[in-house]
């Protein structure tokens, strides 16, 4: 099942973005985690819920559904009734509770655990304030898989009634008690989220921190501010307008944020990134951002950055194929000589000018040949070794 295989319950929020500034900021932060190059590969804005994070799970995907709700009063604590809308305790009010619960913030999240089943990894309520003790006790009871709290028992009792239509759409009459508990165990509440707090304009600094954490792109205050604005504009654009045709391509285009959009905002070469990604570089974004940073201030073009990324890939492949053939001592001597050259060609600011490489590469090739350390290394592979050492912080 893909995120676009079910029509969302409503799309009203897509036409009134101004009301959802907090959710835009939260979706933007989650989108930046795509730069980590690990399991998160897409964020869907204002589709199915406030936003949805897609994670790679083997050869398929799982989804995390987010609702973002804020309060102006900073010392406010969400109550059980705020989040769950229970009417009264007791079996006589079961259907009333079920109807109210389904319409609650938590009910609107938990319905995803039914519709998307195992592909729903978790449902998350995110807020700028905290919760009352009763809510904390509910969450603790669920997290410990006890299911003994009085309010949790109400949910267990009314779950099948609340989500009757969705359960029947799955071809079932009802969920077993274990299936209900499994659904509840996916509930998370993120309180006191700092970048959602009212009156604290620190989103750009937080975005800067995340960008460096996941990509090692160093930003000035001005750069960070500009990128933060562009990111929020991107999320805003992806959060607006009704999607008339619900299919995967249309949803990805109109509501999805992926690596291509982020690299464009960061002005990182997509071609160079794809070259390194395809070569199984586990830190491909960090690699291309460091290569680009080392070269661009020296006047390198995107084509030159792409070429140098290809060279780095050649070195990685050569090393992978030959590391078990050459001795440790030969490897140490080889990389030491390469490191010396990199040190010589880098300017005081750490940047590299490609025009300075030709003479140094010729000298290095001659020296390695004379000491029987050249092996079958060609000029481009040796150039790639420079960037490999720079990325690792050796040179």
As a whole number of angstroms, the distance between CA 221 and CA 219 comes to 6
For residue 20, the model assigns a pLDDT of: 45
- The mean pLDDT of 113-130, rounded to a whole number, is 97
Query: Scanning the structure block, which residue is given the tokens 């009734």?
Result: 81
Q: What is the pLDDT of residue 131?
A: 97
- Does 160 or 293 have the greater pLDDT score? 160
What pTM did the predictor assign?
0.86
300-340 pLDDT per residue, tens: 888 999 999 999 999 999 999 999 999 999 999 999 999 98
> How is residue 231 written in tokens?
């990111």
Give, in degrees to the nearest 5, the angle at Cα 269 between 263 and 275. Answer: 110
pLDDT at residue 143, as a whole number = 97
Judge whether residue 18 has pLDDT over 50. no
What is the distance between the alpha carbons of residues 226 and 267, in angstroms, rounded to a whole number?
12
In the chain, where does DSSP find H-type helix?
21-32, 80-84, 94-102, 105-115, 133-143, 150-162, 164-169, 177-184, 203-215, 221-238, 248-255, 259-266, 270-278, 284-296, 302-322, 328-345, 357-370, 379-392
Mean pLDDT of 243-249: 90
Task: Kindly state the average pLDDT of the residues 109-119.
Answer: 97
Low-confidence winner among 33-47, 90-104, 321-335 (lowest mean pLDDT):
90-104
Helix (H) or strand (E) holding 189: strand 187-190
- Give the pLDDT of residue 238: 94
Q: Is the pLDDT of residue 257 over 90?
A: yes
Q: What is the pLDDT of residue 219?
A: 84
Looking at every residue in the chain, the average pLDDT score rounds to 89
Name the residue ranges covered by the structural domains of the chain.
12-264, 270-392
- Predicted confidence band of residue 92 (pLDDT cuts 50, 70, 90): low
212 or 166, higher pLDDT:
166
**Residue 62: how many other CB atoms lie within 10 Å:** 17
pLDDT digits (tens, 9 = 90+) for 262-312: 999 999 999 999 999 998 888 899 999 989 988 877 678 889 999 999 999
Range with the largest mean pLDDT of 92-96, 228-232, 294-298:
228-232
Would you state the structure tokens that stand for residue 205, as one six-digit string?
């600094």
Asked whether residue 74 carries a pLDDT value surpassing 60, the answer given is yes
Structure tokens at 150: 């009085």
pLDDT at 105: 97
Residue 394 banded pLDDT, cuts 50, 70, 90 = very low
């Amino acid at each position: 099942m893909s995120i676009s295989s079910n029509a969302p319950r409503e799309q009203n929020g897509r036409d009134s973005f101004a009301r959802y500034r907090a959710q835009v900021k939260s979706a933007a932060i989650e989108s930046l985690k795509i730069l980590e190059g690990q399991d998160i590969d897409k964020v869907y804005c204002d589709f199915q819920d406030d936003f949805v994070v897609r994670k790679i799970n083997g050869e398929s995907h799982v989804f995390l559904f987010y609702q973002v709700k804020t309060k102006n009063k900073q010392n406010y604590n969400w109550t059980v009734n705020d989040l769950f809308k229970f009417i009264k305790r007791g079996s006589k009010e079961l259907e009333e509770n079920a109807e109210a619960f389904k319409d609650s913030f938590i009910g609107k999240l938990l319905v995803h655990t039914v519709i998307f089943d195992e592909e729903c990894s978790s449902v998350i309520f995110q807020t700028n304030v905290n919760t009352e003790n009763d809510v904390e006790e509910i969450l603790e009871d669920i997290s410990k898989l006890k299911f003994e709290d009085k309010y949790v028992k109400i949910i267990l009792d009314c779950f099948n009634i609340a989500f009757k239509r969705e359960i029947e759409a799955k071809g079932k009459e009802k969920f077993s008690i274990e299936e209900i508990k499994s659904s509840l165990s996916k509930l998370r509440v993120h309180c006191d989220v700092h970048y959602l707090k009212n009156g604290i304009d620190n989103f750009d600094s937080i975005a800067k921190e995340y960008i460096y954490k996941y990509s090692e792109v160093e930003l000035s205050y001005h750069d960070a501010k500009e990128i933060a604005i562009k990111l929020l504009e991107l999320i805003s654009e992806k959060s607006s307008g009704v999607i008339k045709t619900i299919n995967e391509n249309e949803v990805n285009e109109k509501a999805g944020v992926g690596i291509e959009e982020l690299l464009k905002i960061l002005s990182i070469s997509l071609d160079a990134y794809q070259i390194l990604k395809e070569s199984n570089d586990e830190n491909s974004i960090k690699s291309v951002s460091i290569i680009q940073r080392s070269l661009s201030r020296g006047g390198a073009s995107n084509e030159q950055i792409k070429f140098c990324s290809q060279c780095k890939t050649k070195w990685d492949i050569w090393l992978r194929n030959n590391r078990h053939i050459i001795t440790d001592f030969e490897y140490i001597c080889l990389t030491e000589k390469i490191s010396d050259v990199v040190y010589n060609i880098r300017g005081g600011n750490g940047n590299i000018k490609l025009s300075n490489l030709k003479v140094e590469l010729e000298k290095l090739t001659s020296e390695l040949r004379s000491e029987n350390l050249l092996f079958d290394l060609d000029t481009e592979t040796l150039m790639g070794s420079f960037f490999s050492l720079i990325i690792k912080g050796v040179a």
